Amino acid sequence: MLKAYMVLSIILFSIGVVGLVSRRNIIVMYMSVELLLNAVNLSLIAISADLADSSAQVISLVIIAIAASEAALFMSLFVVLFRNRASLDANLFDMLGSKK
């Protein structure tokens, strides 16, 4: 069962990497990052169930909290970028060095 969970976690992680690299829509890129975190959580939970140790569950709780704070920051970034450029294209967001 542990091996099946690890294999599923690797497959989901690879799908997340593919989505993160090959898409240009920033909302899809953000959700791919969340998929990466979820794949890691899945393997952590499987390991904790296999070792009968709940430390790994605490680590995945911490990861979920980090994902929540990341979500808040990403949402405000979406709002700011969409207000300035009226687009979701990641290639257009290069205004970090410019004075607008």
Partner 1 sequence: MENEIIFTILALVAIVSSIVMISAHRPIDSALSFIVTLVSIAALFALVNATFLFVVQIIIYAGAILSLILFIIMFLNIKDANLPDEKHKNKWLMGTSLIVAPFSYILIDLIMRSDIAVNGIAAENFGTIKDVGLTLFSKWILPFELVSILLLVALVGSVTLSKKED
**Cβ nearer to partner 1, comparing 80 with 95:** 80
Task: Identify residues 37-76 at the interface with partner 1 (CB under 8 A).
Answer: 38, 41-42, 45-46, 48-55, 57-58, 60-62, 64-73, 75-76
Task: Identify residues 4-23 at the interface with partner 1 (CB under 8 A).
Answer: 4-8, 10-19, 21-23
> Which one of residues 40, 90, 94, 97 is an interface residue with partner 1 (CB under 8 A)?
90
Smallest distance from the beta carbon of 96 to partner 1, in angstroms? 13
Which has the closest alpha carbon to 73: 42, 34, 100, 24? 34
**DSSP per position, 8-46:** HHHHHHHHHHHHHHH--BHHHHHHHHHHHHHHHHHHHHH
Task: Identify residues 23-42 at the interface with partner 1 (CB under 8 A).
Answer: 23-25, 27-28, 30-32, 34-35, 38, 41-42
**Cβ nearer to partner 1, comparing 64 with 95:** 64
What are 22's two structure tokens?
Answer: 């090959």
Q: Which residues lie closer than 8 Å to 40 by C-beta, 6 or more apart? A: 9, 13, 60, 63
